[in-house]
A and B are shown apart, each in its own frame.
Chain A
Amino acid sequence: MIEVKNLTRYYGEKCAINNVSFRVEKGEVLGLLGPNAAGKTTTMRILTCYMPPTSGDAWVAGYNIWEAPMEVKKRIGYLPENPPLYHDLRVEEYLNFVAKIKGVPGNRLKSQVSSAIERAGLTSVARQVIGSLSKGYKQRVGLAQALLNDPDVLILDEPTVGLDPRQIIEIRQLIKNLGGDHTVILSTHILPEVEMTCQRVVIINEGQVVAQDTPENLTRRLRGTERILLELDGDTRTVEEVLGRFPQITSREVEKLSGNGHVRYALEVTEDIRNQLARAVVESGVNLYELRSEAYSLEDIFLHLTTKEEEAVA
Chain B
Amino acid sequence: MKKLLAIYQKEMKHFFYSPIAYIVIAAFTVLAGIFFYLYLSSFVEAAFMDMIRSQQFRTPPQKFNVNLQLIRPYFWNLALISLFVLPLVTMRLYSEEKKLGTVELLYTSPISVSQIVLGKFLAGLTFYLVMLIPTVIFQALLFVYGDPELGPVLSGYLGLLLLGSAFIAGGLFISSLTENQIIAAIGGFGLSLLLWVIGWAASFSGPGLAKVLNYLSVINHFEDFAQGVIDSQHIAFYLLLSAVGIYLTFKSLEAIRWRA
A80 touches B110 (CB 8 A): no
Q: Tell me whether A84 and B110 are in contact in the complex, defined as CB-CB below 8 angstroms, given that A51-B258, A101-B6, A103-B3 are known contacts.
A: no
| Nearest CB in chain B: distance from A235 CB, A | 66
Cβ of B56 under 8 Å from chain A = no
Most A Cβ at <10 Å: residue of B13, B17, B105, B107: B105
Contact of A73 among B7, B101, B109 (CB under 8 A): B109
Cβ of B149 under 8 Å from chain A = no
| Nearest CB in chain B: distance from A280 CB, A | 62
Q: How large is the interface on B (under 10, 10 to 19, 20 to 34, 35 or more residues)?
A: 20 to 34
Q: Tell me whether A51 and B2 are in contact in the complex, defined as CB-CB below 8 angstroms, given that A88-B13, A88-B18 are known contacts.
A: no
Q: How far does the alpha carbon of A49 sit from the alpha carbon of B111 in the complex, in Å?
A: 12
Cβ of B227 under 8 Å from chain A = no
Q: Which residue of chain A is the closest to B257 with respect to CB atoms?
A: A51
Interface string of A72-100 (1 = CB under 8 A from B): 01101010101011111100010001101
Cβ of B108 under 8 Å from chain A = yes
Q: Tell me whether A49 and B107 are in contact in the complex, defined as CB-CB below 8 angstroms, given that A80-B101, A100-B3, A100-B6 are known contacts.
A: yes
Cβ of A172 under 8 Å from chain B = no
Cβ of B100 under 8 Å from chain A = yes
Cβ of B137 under 8 Å from chain A = no
Query: Which residues of B sit under 8 angstroms from A49, Cβ to Cβ?
Result: 107-108
Query: Which residues of B sit under 8 angstroms from A70, Cβ to Cβ?
Result: 110, 112
Q: How far does the alpha carbon of A100 sit from the alpha carbon of B116 in the complex, in Å?
A: 13
Contact of A97 among B6, B112, B257 (CB under 8 A): B6
Query: Which residues of B sit under 8 angstroms from A80, Cβ to Cβ?
Result: 101, 104-105
Q: How far does the alpha carbon of A45 sit from the alpha carbon of B260 in the complex, in Å?
A: 10
Query: Which residues of B sit under 8 angstroms from A78, Cβ to Cβ?
Result: 104-105, 108
Interface residue ranges, A against B (CB under 8 Å)? 45, 48-52, 70, 73-74, 76, 78, 80, 82, 84-89, 93, 97-98, 100-103, 145
